[in-house]
Structure 1
Amino acid sequence: MDVPHHGYRATKPRARAAPPSGDPLLFEDTSSSGPPMGHQGYYSSGYSMSGVGGGVGNSGMNELFTDPMANAAVMYGSSLATQGKDMVNKEISRFMSVNKLKYFFAVDTKYVMKKLLLLMFPYTHQDWEVRYHRDTPFTPRHDVNAPDLYIPTMAFITYILLAGMALGIQKRFSPEVLGLCASTALVWVIIEVLVMLLGLYLLTVHSDLSTFDLIAYSGYKYVGMIFTVLCGLLFGSDGYFIALAWSSCALMFFIVRSLRMKILSSFPPDSVGTAASAKPRMRLYITVATAAFQPIIIYWLTAHLVR
């Protein structure tokens, strides 16, 4: 006799029946492979939203990149940018060659020390000719006779700092006075280089002297100016004038010997005649005048710093 057990149910599988129409589903039946019929509209609407938001954007981008006119516009803009860059580089190269500028800063510590000694004691130096290798001059680090822009640049900055210190010691420092001192020193170099270029042009001197060379030779005076101001601050007016005389004579000797190799050697030796023989004398005059002008500039730019 079977006794029914209230907590036991038979495990025999039963057929799945559809719920009554009036009772809501507590859980969604996800056992079937496809999406629920009741949520078909949701998937459709989701697809539509994707098509509106992302699909349209993607299709717009695809159309942009597949449009021949858009591609042509992009290529034209790229070519214009490349042409503009080339034009800018060409215009910069007309006035300032980066490779040539790097040449004037190709120095090392050994060269700087030897060049400073040459500027202050040039009388014992024998060989003043710049060496070449396959029509290319040696870099300054390999030839002490080669002009450079590192020493003039550093000397100019040191001169401005020394001028500020000298004015501060004398209780005369102000930013305006220091700015006027710096601008005056720079303007004198520019005027000197322009006069040299004009003189070489009028005399039709065909040499390898460039504008950077002239700036370098003109900027070497700042080394003597630093020495002069230091001696004036340490030893007074007597030390200033002794240092002025020494640095001026040394710089004049250096300029004459350096520029003579550049200017006078460019004159053809087979030239004859009165007019032809006058040109070497004019070139010598402009070389000596350039050297003789250096003490005047040194005194003009340093006398007001030492009192």
Structure 2
Amino acid sequence: MGNYGAPPPGYPGQGQPMPAYFADPLANVAMQYGQSLAGQGKDIVNQNLEKWISISTLKFYFAVDTKYVARKLLVLFLPFVIRDWSIKFPPSQCVAPREEPNAPDLYVPAMAFVTYILTTGVLLGTQNRFTPEDLGGQASQILAWLIVEILLVLLTFYITNISSNLRFLHLLAFTGYKYVGMVVCGVMSMFLSRWGYRVALIYSSVAIVWFFLRSLKVYVLPEVMSADRTGYRRRLWALLFITALQPLMIWLLTRQICSFEAPAAVAPPPVSY
């Protein structure tokens, strides 16, 4: 009855020595050294990453609000009804999308990419083809083609000797907007089979072409270049090439998933008695 306050067996009491690893100075030094190495490694990663992509600049492309996202989706779905495509800030200036409705962002492309991967998983499941490997392969394929597309755009600018206000993150944002149309293709294919996919593919292609021609014109075809016919013509062809890549990529990335039809089941031969 008088042992309620006694510690259980094996538990170090006040008169018992603490375990060795609590009092070992070498363990403390090793822990501090490991924390120091982790901090140095983090600094090295941030410094090398800053050489390619500025983290502070990257945050601007995710500075969106609900109003901006709703308007951007409207622009992507119904670009034909939009009248004002101008940008109030200089194209070379990095501005938060919530302050400029026509500025590119990375939030909508990122969410559209994730949504399309989830839609692909559902489609593969309805087609009895779902495996984690196939879903990961689809994500890797989309990212690989995104890199190829950006390299093609940069190569086009280099060959045609065009200098534009398009940053790398601008290109990443604009080329990622087609994922919204790919989601539409996936959903239509899910509910209306192959014919729904074809209708969605045609509409999404026309919409993304219209969107690119109106949005990229500010960056690729500035007004001051209209007097220089040779330079203006080169920029126009570059704009048309970049725009033509979008419906091609939508078809290339969705055709194997959205237009798939399972083979019809073969009826067993009749049993003769």
- Return the TM-score normalized by structure 2: 0.75
Establish whether residue 210 from structure 1 lines up as the match of residue 191 from structure 2: no
Quote the Cα distance in structure 2 between the aligned partners of 1:202 and 1:183. 28
Establish whether residue 152 from structure 1 lines up as the match of residue 109 from structure 2: yes
Q: Identify the structure with bigger relative contact order (alpha carbons < 8 Å, sequence gap 6+).
A: 2
Sequence identity, in percent? Answer: 42
Q: 1:235 to 1:280 in 2, by over 3 A?
A: same
Indicate the residue corresponding to 1:167 in structure 2.
124
Quote the Cα distance in structure 2 between the aligned partners of 1:234 and 1:174. 21
The amino acid of 1:288's aligned partner reads L
Q: Unaligned stretches of 5+ in structure 2? A: 1-35, 262-273
Please give the per-residue CA displacement for 1:52-81, whole angstroms capped at 9, x wherever unaligned. xxxxxxxxxxxxxxxxxxxxxxxxxx9xx9
The amino acid of 1:150's aligned partner reads Y
Establish whether residue 226 from structure 1 lines up as the match of residue 183 from structure 2: yes
Indicate the residue corresponding to 1:127 in structure 2.
84
Q: Answer with 1 or 2: which has the greater Rg.
A: 1
Q: 1:228 to 1:85 in 2, by over 3 A?
A: closer
- Return the TM-score normalized by structure 1: 0.67
Q: Is the 8 A contact 2:91 2:218 kept in 1?
A: no
Quote the Cα distance in structure 2 between the aligned partners of 1:279 and 1:134. 19
Q: Unaligned stretches of 5+ in structure 1? A: 1-77, 272-276
Quote the Cα distance in structure 2 between the aligned partners of 1:173 and 1:85. 38
Q: Is the 8 A contact 1:131 1:137 kept in 2?
A: no
Quote the Cα distance in structure 1 between the aligned partners of 2:42 and 2:97. 32
Q: Is the 8 A contact 1:130 1:138 kept in 2?
A: no
2:248 pairs, out of 290, 296, 302, with 296
Q: What SS does structure 1 have at the residue aligned with 2:50? A: helix
Deviation at 1:135, TM superposition (A): 7.1
The amino acid of 1:234's aligned partner reads F
Quote the Cα distance in structure 2 between the aligned partners of 1:278 and 1:175. 51
Q: Is the 8 A contact 1:206 1:266 kept in 2?
A: no
The amino acid of 2:129's aligned partner reads R
Indicate the residue corresponding to 1:286 in structure 2.
238
Deviation at 1:133, TM superposition (A): 7.3
Please give the per-residue CA displacement for 1:15-61, whole angstroms capped at 9, x wherever unaligned. xxxxxxxxxxxxxxxxxxxxxxxxxxxxxxxxxxxxxxxxxxxxxxx
The worse-fitting range, judged by mean Cα deviation, of 260-269 and 143-152 is 260-269
Quote the Cα distance in structure 1 between the aligned partners of 2:227 and 2:244. 30
Deviation at 1:118, TM superposition (A): 0.3
Indicate the residue corresponding to 1:15 in structure 2.
none
Deviation at 1:82, TM superposition (A): 11
Indicate the residue corresponding to 2:67 in structure 1.
110
Deviation at 1:140, TM superposition (A): 0.6
Pairs within 5 Å for 1:242-253: 242-253=199-210
Q: Is the 8 A contact 1:140 1:146 kept in 2?
A: yes
Q: Is the 8 A contact 1:228 1:244 kept in 2?
A: yes
Quote the Cα distance in structure 2 between the aligned partners of 1:165 and 1:200. 39
The amino acid of 2:251's aligned partner reads Y
Deviation at 1:251, TM superposition (A): 0.3
Pairs within 5 Å for 1:84-99: 89-99=46-56
Count of residues in correspondence between the two structures = 223
Q: Is the 8 A contact 1:160 1:181 kept in 2?
A: yes
